[in-house]
Amino acid sequence: MISTDISLAVQHLNEKGIIGFPTETVYGLAGNAFETEAIHKIFDVKKRPTFNPLIVHIKGIEDLVHVAQEIPPMAYELAAAFWPGPLTLILKKQPHIPDLVTANQETVAVRVPNHPVALTLLKQLEFPLVAPSANPFTSISPTSAQHVEAYFGNQISMVLEGGECAAGIESTIIGFDNNKVVVYRLGALALEEIEKVAPVTLYNKKNKQPIAPGMLWKHYAPKTDFILTRNVQEELDWYSGRRIGLLLFNSFLPQLDRENQIVLSAESDLKVAASKLYDAMHQLDKMKLEVIIAERLPEYGLGVSINDRLARASKK
Ligand code: TXA
Ligand code: MG
């Protein structure tokens, strides 16, 4: 059930229920961060393996000390610069954070979402919310209440309506290694923005386990075959005669029916493109196509994060 009733959401969460809730990045599947019963429900409904830890959502920077400890000064600087907003910090956890939240790791992921409905909700609760993106494991993330309802319906207590997500892709996840900022997941906060505050290093996947399973290769994937390319024309020729859908950056191609094409931003605005990305993937996936051909975006700013998601969607 989709509803705008925040007090109903509070009631469900107080009773260990789980709900879909809006954030500026994507919708989350939320429950009380201290109730293992609620957290188990989240893993069950999502069919998510429990080795994949969850993000804790707090109402403000003042709550950080209740969740994390030994917080480096740089974490405070970044939080001051970007919270509320799409930046998740990996920090040493407080002992009372359930192991189920952190997948038995000593660290916890935490952020303050920048969405008025989410913040109003969090302020009315006596606990933080754990919330993974509200999609079944490996499928496309939801950017509207309708997406969540279509995925989970009455398996969850309700979906709190908050409109379409403004950012449209998940938060950027960073951690600290001897005070160096390490990026574990590209996301809605561009690296160029973080670099105005601190230099960043990309996490090196080679010979290490993926530290954020959001870095697992196949992720955010439509059911339809999905191809990512710099040269859409070449792929169009290759697949000619098939039912093709196109996911394009800034202009339609004249050779194909417009109904089978989605342009992310006619103005070439990467923020707009990010906000439209997942909805476009949901739409194309519903069109019973044989193949979706996606155009690689420019490799700067949010283009890097969008290309990361498109590349994961295209993996088998
Ligand atoms: O924008 C977002 O971050 C959204 C909204 C709802 O806040 N949430 C989200 O959650 O994307 P999820 O569960 O889909 O992705 C969280 C990522 C996972 O890849 C997980 O592995 C990583 O965060 N993560 C969580 N705790 C971690 C930890 N202690 N160390 C490393 N990675 C962690
Ligand atoms: Mg997710």
Confidence at 206, pLDDT banded by 50, 70, 90: low
Q: Is the CB of residue 54 below 6 angstroms from any atom belonging to ligand 1?
A: yes
Please report which ligand is nearest the Cα atom of 215: 1
Q: What is the pLDDT of residue 179?
A: 77
d(CA 130, CA 29): 8
231 in a labelled binding site: no
pLDDT tens, position by position, 85-98 = 999 999 999 999 99
Average pLDDT over residues 144-167: 98
Give exposure, 164-181, as e/b (b: 16+ Cβ within 10 Å).
ebbbbbbbbbbbbeeeeb
Q: What is the pLDDT of residue 217?
A: 59
d(CA 148, CA 115): 17
3-state secondary structure of 278: helix
Q: Is the CB of residue 114 below 6 angstroms from any atom belonging to ligand 1?
A: no
275 in a labelled binding site: no
Mean pLDDT over each residue of the chain, to the nearest integer: 94
Q: What is the side-by-side order of every strand in the sheet holding 244-248?
A: 225-229, 291-295, 244-248, 261-263
Average pLDDT over residues 127-137: 97
CA separation, residue 177 to residues 157, 197, 284 (Å): 39, 16, 40
How far, in Å, is the centroid of ligand 2 from the Cα of 220? 8
How would you class 70 by CB atoms within 10 Å of its CB: exposed for 0-12, middle for 13-18, buried for 19 or more? exposed
Q: What is the pLDDT of residue 207?
A: 43
* Percent share of the chain, pLDDT over 70: 95
pLDDT tens, position by position, 102-122 = 999 999 999 999 999 999 999
- Give the distance between the most distant pair of CA atoms in the chain: 60
- Specify the DSSP class assigned to residue 302: H
Residue 215 has pLDDT above 70, yes or no: no
CA separation, residue 60 to residues 48, 185, 211, 238 (Å): 28, 22, 26, 52
- Specify the DSSP class assigned to residue 171: P
Average pLDDT over residues 274-289: 97
Q: What is the pLDDT of residue 103?
A: 95
d(CA 23, CA 16): 20
Residue nearest to atom 10 of ligand 1 (CA): 132
pLDDT tens, position by position, 30-86 = 999 999 999 999 999 999 988 999 999 999 999 999 999 999 999 999 999 999 999
Q: What is the pLDDT of residue 220?
A: 75
Q: What is the pLDDT of residue 212?
A: 56
Q: Which domains does the chain have, with CATH numbers?
A: 2-215 (3.90.870.10), 225-313 (3.40.50.11030)
Q: What is the pLDDT of residue 247?
A: 98
Residue 209 has pLDDT above 60, yes or no: no
Closest by CA to 113, choosing from 162, 77, 150, 149, is 162
Q: Is the CB of residue 53 below 6 angstroms from any atom belonging to ligand 1?
A: yes
Q: Is the CB of residue 135 below 6 angstroms from any atom belonging to ligand 1?
A: no
